């Protein structure tokens, strides 16, 4: 969809920049070929049929297709541009109406290899264009999305208007499902470029078995309502987030996006993300995991994204019925850890075992205490310890387990890094459901492993 909007916008901006010499009827074929060549690219072919109007105030084409190596993936029909030609002389692109009768997107395009963006964090900014743009009415009456895109076929309509100048950026966007299912998605954004202030409102409302509940794999596919609302300067922009299903609030809180002077020499500011959000998410989880999280989950995060790509999570805390986890993590610009300080405990408050939210047939524990310490500035020493009580995987039960990892974690810029150290483990009160294995191993096992990078050099165990 993003690629389609880029191409559709570019096609008419390209029209606006063409010289009047190409406006004659005899030049329609040449003009069509020129636009097609300009919009086509690596792995993408654009074809336009029935183009007319050239540089008149009402340009149109009957059909546009976009194809890749697997064929046509997008078809656009009955497109009309009603615009003010003379406004270009004043540096303005004024569009009274930009409409399409039908848009079919059967699948997503085949991805092509592209250069990855650099690691620098980029601040939000509207694009600088040679002309200001004002679109009074943008609409697509019928949009058909194929099943491969969302997991089911969907039909919707879109209405929008937009204004982009040197001082403001305003968008009012509305999408509605038109295939018998209720689905509404609205975006209202007003950005003052001179004051760097944004006013934002985002609303999503869907009936049961909607697109959002299917994509998120929510149990029972309930109705979904989501609101994101905020107003203020971008260097300290706070948004209130609310998510509800079946008319009941599940998650609510605030996310703040800000900027600050870069820690290192750079023209790009660092970005700070702070979040404090929580609620009763049991309805969003598979029934087997609801006891683990309980009816009150809280997540608090304070993170800094540096301009060079480094990440500093100065604090995070996750609190739920059976888990209490907190700490801090720092990654360098190569995303290699330079600081890890995490501690926590997993245990059911009533002392009974709890089912861990991990894949598999089911793993239960009575309690887990964990600690991970690493600081590159303190000799690259890495230490971690896990004490596990009452581990039960169904085929294996262990009354008590101690696991420790101790060594050196090295990671220089430009390298993948390596770990040099020892793993030690000890178990007590172990039993297996397989009689032969139980007899061979016994009820206790201890061992150690010496690790160089990811290779195990030596393993010793006793049972």
- Show me where the domains of the chain are located: 338-463
pLDDT band at 95 (very low <50, low <70, confident <90, very high): confident
The percent of residues in the chain predicted with pLDDT above 90, rounded, is: 42
Neighbour count for residue 405 (Cβ, 10 Å): 19
Highest mean pLDDT (candidates 263-267, 269-273, 353-357):
353-357
Q: Is the pLDDT of residue 379 over 90?
A: no
Would the pLDDT of 28 be above 70? no
pLDDT of residue 158: 93
pLDDT at 217 over 70: yes
User: What CA–CA distance (Å, rounded) separates 62 from 217?
Assistant: 39
Q: Which of 51, 45, 44, 1 is nearest to 22 (CA)?
A: 51
What is the Cα–Cα distance from 135 to 82, expressed in whole angstroms?
10
Higher pLDDT: 22 or 370? It is: 370
pLDDT of the residue at 80: 87
User: Residue 58 has what pLDDT?
Assistant: 79
Could you give the CA distance from residue 202 to residue 135 in angstroms, rounded to a whole number? 20
Q: What does the pLDDT average to over 219-241? A: 93
Prediction pTM value: 0.76
The pLDDT of residue 441 is 78
Output the pLDDT for position 195: 87
Tell me the pLDDT band of 53, cut-offs 50, 70 and 90: confident
Q: Does residue 424 register a pLDDT over 50?
A: yes
Given pLDDT bands bounded at 50, 70 and 90, which one contains residue 407? confident
* Chain segment 147-189, per-residue pLDDT in tens: 888 878 899 999 999 888 888 889 999 999 999 999 999 999 9
CA distance 146 to 155: 9
Among 103-117, 252-266, 373-387, 419-433, the range scoring the smallest mean pLDDT is 103-117
Residue 269 has pLDDT above 90, yes or no: no
């Amino acid at each position: 969809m993003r690629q389609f909007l880029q191409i559709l916008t570019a096609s008419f901006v390209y029209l606006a920049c063409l010289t009047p010499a190409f406006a004659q009827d005899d030049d329609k074929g040449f003009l069509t070929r020129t636009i097609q060549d300009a919009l086509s690219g690596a792995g993408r072919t654009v074809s336009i049929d029935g183009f007319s109007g050239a540089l008149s105030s009402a340009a149109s084409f009957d059909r546009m297709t976009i194809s890749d190596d697997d064929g046509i993936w997008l078809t656009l029909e009955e497109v009309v541009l009603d615009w003010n030609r003379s406004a270009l002389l004043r540096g303005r692109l004024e569009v009274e109406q930009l409409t399409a009768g039908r848009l079919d997107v059967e699948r997503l395009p085949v991805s092509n290899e592209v250069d990855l963006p650099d690691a620098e964090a980029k601040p939000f900014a509207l694009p600088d264009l040679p002309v200001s743009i004002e679109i009074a009415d943008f609409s697509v009456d019928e949009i058909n999305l194929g099943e491969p895109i969302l997991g089911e076929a969907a039909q919707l309509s879109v209405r929008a208007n937009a204004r982009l100048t040197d001082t403001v950026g305003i968008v009012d966007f509305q999408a509605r499902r038109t295939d018998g299912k209720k689905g509404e998605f609205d975006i209202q954004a007003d950005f003052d470029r001179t004051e760097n202030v944004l006013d934002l409102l985002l609303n999503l409302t869907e009936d049961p078995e909607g697109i959002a509940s299917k994509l998120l794999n929510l149990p029972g596919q309930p109705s979904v309502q989501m609101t994101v609302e905020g107003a203020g300067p971008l260097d300290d922009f706070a948004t209130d987030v609310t998510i509800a299903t079946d008319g009941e609030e599940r998650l609510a809180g605030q996310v703040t996006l800000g900027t600050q002077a870069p820690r290192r020499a750079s023209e790009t500011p660092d970005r700070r993300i702070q979040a404090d959000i929580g609620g009763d998410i049991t309805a969003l989880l598979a029934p087997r995991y609801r006891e683990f999280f309980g009816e009150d989950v809280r997540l608090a995060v304070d993170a800094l994204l540096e301009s060079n790509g480094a990440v500093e999570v100065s604090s995070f805390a996750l609190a739920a019925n059976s888990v209490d986890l907190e700490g801090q993590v720092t990654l360098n610009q190569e995303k290699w850890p330079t600081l890890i300080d995490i501690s926590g405990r997993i245990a059911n408050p009533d002392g009974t075992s709890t089912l861990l939210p991990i894949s598999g047939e089911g793993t239960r524990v009575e309690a887990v205490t964990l600690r991970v310490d690493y600081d590159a500035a303190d000799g690259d020493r890495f230490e971690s310890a896990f004490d596990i009580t009452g581990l039960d995987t169904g085929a294996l039960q262990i009354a008590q387990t101690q696991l420790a990892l101790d060594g050196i974690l090295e990671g220089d810029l430009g390298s993948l890094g390596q770990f040099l150290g020892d793993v030690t483990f000890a178990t007590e009160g172990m039993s297996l459901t397989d009689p032969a294995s139980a007899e061979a191993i016994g009820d206790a096992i201890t061992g150690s492993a010496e690790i160089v990078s990811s290779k195990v050099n030596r393993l010793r165990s006793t049972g």
